[in-house]
Homo-oligomer: A and B are copies of this chain.
Amino acid sequence: MREVCVLGVGMSRFGKFPEKDLLELAVPAVWEAIKDSGVPAKKIQVAYCGNVMGKHCLGQRILVELGLTGIEIVNVENACSSGSTAFRGVWALIASGAYDIGLAFGAEQMSQKVEGAIQLDQEDLETGQGLIMPTLYAMKANRHMQRFGTTREQLALVSVKNHAHSCHNPRSQYQKTFTLEQVLHSAMIADPLTLYQCCPTGDGASAAILCAKDVAACYQSKPITIAASVLLSGRTNMEPSEMASSELTRRASQAAYDMAGIGPQDLDLLEVHDAFTIGEILHYENLGLCPPGEGGRLVESQQTWIGGRIPVNPSGGLLSKGHPLGATGIAQIAEIVWQLRGEAGGRQVENAKVGLAHCMGGGVGGVDGAACAIHILKR
């Protein structure tokens, strides 16, 4: 299997732009990644597009506007992991030797379609009984509090941290600090999760140019290596006690650490799927940043802030940077690339050498996630 690296990344500002269609969101992000990579557009041999809510053949529709025709184009969907799935699809084709250079991008236009929270699928049995995302995460939070003594304040601190981080990210949907009190006293959505503990809906796009390591030197002197790519779906028959954990993230991260030949102690930063504050706390534990049950205390001790032992979501994460479904996974990759290059400005993690991106997609029929993608990047 050939080593693959990232040569360039691009990203729109995330936010609510009901006046922009998917083309207007995606085209600048793709161009930015191409320009950033140093690769002439005509050298791109394959493109994967991640999206959830758009039209069929979305990748083709967008790339024809860029004159990127004639190549292999594939559209993938894996709920919130759609972008990461696109990234991995291109990785696999280059790793196999089928191609040398590819484009992965993700895009989502939600504000034209979604009012407030994502609409419910009335045909889903669990959904019909009220088990939508905020309530599912609220159950996890309650279980974690009951089992490990995690506090409402610790949960809320994840939001305080990520909003603080995103003040230094000009592409973030929100660029504003919130105090602990503000987070705790925002509207209650699903107890104990308040409004500012739930990621917003939004619009945006992201893109990356991937390249076989052995030809990367033709284009750039600072390629970022993909040390691990893992994508897995959840298992059924969760024990009730598993509500306070995620077997899926644990399994996927272990596979990724094995593939990269490192452990969590070797990471300098992470972008983690913090759709809800409890998610980030759970994933600290699932990803091995701290022992089970210690996630709340990890954020409270400021170890996951920029400047702490192991910064998590320096970009602002889904909670503050935003979460336009198909764009999220590759935006995480983009943040890690900028950090590893030392280009992250006011949110730079000092001397970052190894970063991990973790993205989760939906839950279906009693499994704890439809898709968990983990990518480890290193310079």
Contacts and interface: CB of A to CB of B under 8 A. Distances in A.
A232 interface: yes
Copies in the complex: 2
A364 interface: yes
B61 A364 contact: yes
Interface of A: 1, 52, 55-57, 60-61, 63-65, 67, 69-79, 85, 89, 92-93, 95-98, 121, 231-236, 251, 361-362, 364-367, 370-371
A236 B67 contact: yes
Contact of A77 (B77, B79, B235): B77
Nearest to A68: B233
Contacts of A370: 57, 60, 73
B98 A77 contact: no
Given A64-B367, A78-B57, A365-B61, A98 B1 contact: yes
Contact of A236 (B64, B85, B95): B64
A75 B64 CA distance: 22
A77 B60 contact: no
A96 B366 contact: no
B70 A232 contact: yes
A57 B79 contact: yes
Nearest to A58: B77
Contacts of A78: 57, 73-75
Q: Which 3 A-B pairs have the closest CB atoms?
A: A96-B96, A70-B235, A60-B370
A72 B365 CA distance: 16
B77 A56 contact: yes
A67 B364 CA distance: 13
A134 to B, nearest CB: 18
Contacts of A77: 56-57, 75-77
A210 B227 CA distance: 26
A235 B76 CA distance: 21
A181 B336 CA distance: 66
Contacts of A371: 57, 60, 73-74
Contact of A234 (B69, B89, B235): B69
B98 A74 contact: no
B233 A71 contact: yes
17 contacts: A57-B77, A57-B364, A60-B233, A60-B362, A61-B364, A61-B365, A63-B233, A64-B364, A64-B367, A69-B367, A71-B233, A72-B232, A73-B78, A75-B76, A75-B78, A92-B92, A92-B93
Contacts of A367: 60, 64, 69
Contacts of A73: 78, 233, 370-371
Given A52-B56, A93-B96, 8 more contacts: A56-B77, A57-B77, A57-B362, A64-B236, A72-B231, A74-B371, A95-B98, A96-B96
